[in-house]
Amino acid sequence: MDTTTLVPESVDGHVILAFDGSPDSERAVRWAVEIAQDLKCPLTVVTARDLSRQWPAMVGGSQEWDDVASERLGRATAQVGQHGGLAPQVIATKQPPVQALRDLSTTARMVVLGARGHTRVGGTLVGSVSQHLVQHASCSVAVVREPASTQSRDVVVGVDGSEENQAAVKLAFEVAAARGVGVVAVFGWHPDSGERPIGRLPLSGDVVDHVHAGEQLVEAAVEPWQRRYPGVEVLVEAVPIHPSRLLSDASAHRGLVVVGSRGRGAFTGMLLGSVSQSVLAHAHSPVIVAR
C-alpha cells in the first residue's frame, strides 16, 4: 500500500478520518470505522503536514515528511484493521489540514476528527481545526471525544422543527437503526427568553401547553423517519431548558449527539448555529454536526 498518496482516486461518499497521531485522533479511529460500517461507506484516512505542533522542530524536508506521513498512516491503518477489517484509502498531504479536509468534504459523506489534536490550546475542549471545519465543511462533521457514560448507546438528536434540521433527524435514525439503539429526540427552549415551541402558539403562563406544543413539533419532525425505520425506539422530550444545555446534559448519559448546522432563528449567512457551537464545546460524548 502506498502510504504517501497525494491525490486520491475518489472520496465520493467516503468517511474521512483526520489522523495526526495525537491521542484524540487515535481515539477517533475506532469511531470512524464504526460510523463507516453504520453508513456503509468506504473509509479514507488523511494526514496533513502541519497537523503536528512538533513539525517545525522535527522535520525539515520532503523526505522527512514522507517518513512521518508513512509512519502515521501505517499506524492508523493497523488500528483500522484491529477494529473492523476495513481496507482504507490513505492520503498524505502538505496542504494545511483545514484546507485539505474542506476540499475533501465537498464529495465526502462525513469527516471524523478528534476533539483536539496536536495543535490544541491548553484548556480548550475543541481544537482549532475542529472548530473551523464544523463551520466550513460541505458535509457532516463528527467531533469525537470519549463518552462520559457507556450505559446507553442511544442517539440524541436536537429538533427545532426547521427544514434544515431534517438532515440531523435523518442521520440520527440512520445511525440508530444500524446500531440497534434508540433515538432520543429533544426540543428545548428558554422559558425566560420569550421563545416558545411554535411561533403561532400564543405565549401564556401555562408551561404544560408549551411542553405539549413542543412534543407535537418533535413528533412531526421524526414521523417520516419512524415510518422508514420502524424498529428504532423513539423517546420524545420537550423541556423548558435552553437547547444547548439540554443537549449537553443529555450527552452525559448517551452515546452520540446529532445537531444541525443551522436551525430556527439562524441569521442568513450564519455557518453554524449558536446551539451547535455550544454543544460542541460542552458535550460529554461524540457530536455530529449534520449537513
Residue pLDDT, tens place only, 58-90 = 444 556 878 888 888 989 889 898 887 678 999
Q: Does 228 have pLDDT greater than 90?
A: yes
Topology agreement, domain 15-144 and domain 155-290? yes
Q: In the chain, pLDDT over 90 holds for what percent of residues?
A: 44
- pLDDT confidence band for 191 (50 / 70 / 90): low
Smallest CA-to-CA distance from 86 within 169, 145, 1, 188 is with 1
Which helix (H) or strand (E) covers residue 213, if one does? helix 207-228
Q: Which CATH class is domain 15-144?
A: alpha beta
Report DSSP state, residue 70.
H
CATH T-level fold of 155-290: Rossmann fold (3.40.50)
C-alpha cell at 262: 443551522
- First-residue to last-residue Cα distance in the chain: 32
For the chain, what is the radius of gyration of the CA atoms?
20
| Residues linked to residue 17 through DSSP beta bridges, in sequence order | 45, 112
The C-alpha atoms of residue 283 and residue 221 are separated, in whole angstroms, by 23
β-strand pairing of 140-144 with 110-114: parallel
- Write down the domain spans for the chain: 15-144, 155-290
Which one is predicted more confidently, 128 or 75?
75
Q: Is the pLDDT of residue 282 over 80?
A: yes
